Amino acid sequence: GDSVTQMEGPVTLSEEAFLTINCTYTATGYPSLFWYVQYPGEGLQLLLKATKADDKGSNKGFEATYRKETTSFHLEKGSVQVSDSAVYFCALSDRMNYGGATNKLIFGTGTLLAVQP
């Protein structure tokens, strides 16, 4: 079945460091890909998404590019801040133009990012 694998944490960085969180996926169809973020004590929030190959999702300085050839969707940020400390989840869903697709999300296990001042 479909699955998502993301790098284990915790990832500990100093403020202004470069961030990469690796995510690879296995899917039989053509999924949409997502990064969700969970700040301490809060619910899941969509960070960015990409719906087809070579699309780049971006938000709040974070970027991820949908790479079909490597089945990857790595999250990057050029300069992290203490406020970026959170758990980051990579996820996929069936593309909605498939008849009968439920678009349920399949998540990775999450990566804890801790940014130190």
By CB under 8 A, name the binding residues for another protein: 4, 32, 34, 36, 42-46, 49, 51, 89, 91, 93, 95-96, 102-110
Where residue 110 falls (left for φ over 0; alpha for ψ -120 to 50; beta otherwise) is left
Neighbouring C-beta atoms of residue 87, cutoff 10 Å: 17
Which CB atom, from 77 or from 111, has the smaller least distance to another protein?
111
Short-list 114, 70, 58, 67, CA closest to 88:
114
Nearest approach, Cβ of residue 67 and another protein (Å): 20
Nearest approach, Cβ of residue 97 and another protein (Å): 8
Which CB atom, from 84 or from 111, has the smaller least distance to another protein?
111
SS3 state of residue 83:
helix
Which CB atom, from 13 or from 106, has the smaller least distance to another protein?
106
